[in-house]
């Protein structure tokens, strides 16, 4: 695998791959302790056994995948291929486009469009999916799967699937994938490490978020020992954007409003991005996912909310908290969910009405 690509690499479209019989799995110790209610060793061994017996394996992540979702799926795909499988990796967007910020990930040749996933998969494994709705076009196929394993770390995960490996204490789904690969007896190589590091770095905010543990840093050290270029990965994830993105960001910051009285006086800063802005500046929806990390810098607010308008006029809300508010509970009240300090929801109401409902759902 070569170093991550330089700035300007275009988004990637995908094609398909056939399947072959599997190789036996080997157990290995847990790499990071599971939180209360997390997967047990029996759960892991059931998944290892299922992989060992499966002839056809589909690995899928949520729509508009981020680094943790796609990195986790591709790391698993590369590992299974090393064991003799020919797994399919997919996500349920149409068109299915890999964000340019993730174009450095090894294993993109494993990706297939959603329509190439079997109607009734033998074994499907989902990554970083808290709700079946987040599977998009792949939801009916997941619900029809003979066996559906769920690897996730969202506290809002409702418990779907026939085999659930969900640990809300894990800082990233990639951490759980590392545990699976150790149990499969797959050696860590540069390609797999690049995928896992991208996932862990994404969901820990480059190791800044509260869920980061000493074991997370130990995992990062093991991944760095493979020789990966973390500087190039970080540049791709956070420091490379199109000029059009800067124009969209500027407009979003101009719209930003601060409500110092929200959340019991802890403060809320919010803004929104109309779909027309994306069209005007040629910016794909996945490119603005990191916009919230700029808005959250406001020192006067504990909570930040960014609303992104889809082509049909509906809104996708992303929110963050700095440590004093459980936004997962707030988003759950609006039909969404997520992590304690990072969550989201959808709305078909207007911007003003959606912000009002969000503010009312905040504690305090």
Longest dimension (CA), the chain: 60
* C-alpha dihedral sign at 294, 12, 67, 194: negative
Under 8 Å between Cβ of 206 and 236: no
Q: For residue 315, how far is the Cα from the chain centroid?
A: 19
Query: CB within 8 A of 200, min separation 6: which ones?
Result: 68, 171, 172, 174, 175, 207, 216, 219, 220, 223
Q: Which CATH number fits domain 243-361: 3.10.310.30, 3.10.105.10, 3.10.20.740, 2.30.130.10?
A: 3.10.310.30
| CA 150/CA 318 separation, integer angstroms | 23
How would you label 62-101 residue by residue, b for 16+ Cβ within 10 Å and e otherwise?
Answer: bbbbbbbbbbbbbbbbbbbbbbebbbbbbbbbeebbbbbb
Check residue 16 and give its pLDDT: 38
Give 10-residue mean pLDDT values along the chain (364 residues).
Answer: 36 38 40 71 97 98 95 98 98 92 96 97 97 95 98 91 95 97 97 98 90 94 96 91 96 98 97 98 90 95 97 95 93 90 93 97 92
End-to-end CA distance of the chain: 51
Q: Is 27 helix (H, G, I), strand (E, B) or coil?
A: coil
Confidence at residue 224, expressed as pLDDT on a 0 to 100 scale: 97
Q: Are 107 and 73 in contact (CB under 8 A)?
A: no
Q: For 336, left (φ over 0), alpha (ψ -120 to 50), or beta?
A: beta
Whole-number pLDDT of residue 35: 62
- Decide whether 12-238 matches 243-361 in CATH topology: no
Phi-psi region of 58 (alpha: psi -120 to 50; beta: other; left: phi over 0): beta
**Separation of alpha carbons 180 and 357, rounded Å:** 40
Q: What class, spelled out in words, does domain 12-238 have in CATH?
A: alpha beta
* CA distances for 11 relative to 3, 14, 57, 59, 117, angstroms: 17, 10, 25, 20, 21
What is the residue-wise DSSP string for 282-338? T--GGGGGGGHHHHTT-TT-SEEEEEEE-TTS-EEEEEEESSS--HHHHHHTTT-EE
pLDDT score of 304: 98
Q: How far apart are CA 251 and CA 358, in angstroms?
A: 22
Domain extent listing, the chain:
12-238, 243-361
Give the dihedral sign, CA 59/284/244/258: negative
Distances (CA, A) of 226 to 83, 188, 189: 20, 8, 6
Q: How many whole angstroms separate alpha carbon 128 and alpha carbon 172?
A: 8
Output the pLDDT for position 364: 82
Could you give the CA distance from residue 94 to residue 63 in angstroms, rounded to a whole number?
A: 9
User: What confidence score (pLDDT) does residue 32 get?
Assistant: 59
d(CA 192, CA 194): 5
User: Is the overall model pTM greater than 0.85, yes or no?
Assistant: no
Tell the burial category of 243 from Cβ atoms under 10 Å away from its Cβ (0-12, 13-18, 19+): exposed
Confidence at residue 102, expressed as pLDDT on a 0 to 100 scale: 95
Distance (Å, rounded) from C-alpha 344 to C-alpha 320?
9
């Amino acid at each position: 695998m070569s170093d991550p690509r330089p700035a300007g690499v275009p988004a990637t479209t995908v094609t398909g791959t056939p399947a072959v019989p599997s190789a036996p799995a080997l157990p290995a110790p847990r790499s990071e302790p599971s939180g209360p209610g997390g997967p047990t060793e029996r759960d892991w061994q059931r998944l290892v056994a299922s992989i060992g017996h499966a002839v056809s394996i589909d690995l899928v992540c949520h729509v508009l995948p981020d680094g943790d979702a796609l990195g986790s799926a591709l790391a698993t795909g590369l590992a299974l291929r090393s064991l003799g499988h020919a797994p399919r990796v997919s996500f349920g967007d149409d068109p299915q486009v890999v964000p340019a910020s993730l174009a450095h990930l090894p294993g993109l040749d494993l990706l297939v469009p959603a329509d190439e996933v079997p109607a009734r998969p033998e074994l499907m494994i989902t990554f970083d999916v808290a709700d079946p709705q987040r599977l998009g076009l792949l939801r009916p196929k997941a619900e029809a799967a003979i066996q559906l394993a769920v690897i996730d770390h969202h506290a809002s995960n409702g418990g779907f699937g026939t085999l659930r490996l969900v640990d809300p204490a894990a800082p990233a789904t990639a951490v759980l994938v590392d545990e699976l690969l150790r149990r499969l007896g797959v050696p860590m190589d540069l390609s797999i490490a690049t995928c896992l590091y991208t996932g862990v770095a994404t969901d820990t905010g480059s190791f800044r978020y509260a869920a980061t543990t000493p074991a997370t840093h130990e995992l990062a050290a093991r991944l760095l020992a493979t020789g990966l270029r973390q500087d190039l990965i970080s540049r791709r994830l956070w420091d490379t954007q199109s000029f059009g993105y800067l124009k969209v960001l500027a407009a979003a910051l101009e719209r930003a409003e601060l409500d110092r009285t929200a959340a019991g006086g802890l403060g809320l800063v919010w803004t929104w991005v109309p779909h027309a802005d994306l069209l005007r500046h040629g910016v794909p929806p996945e490119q603005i996912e990191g916009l919230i990390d700029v808005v959250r810098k406001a020192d006067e607010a504990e909570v930040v909310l960014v609303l992104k308008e889809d082509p049909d006029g509906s809104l996708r809300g992303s929110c963050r908290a700095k440590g004093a508010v459980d936004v997962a509970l707030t988003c759950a009240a609006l039909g969404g969910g997520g992590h304690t300090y990072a969550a989201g929801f959808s709305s078909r109401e207007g911007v003003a009405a959606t912000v009002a409902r969000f503010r009312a759902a905040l504690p305090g």
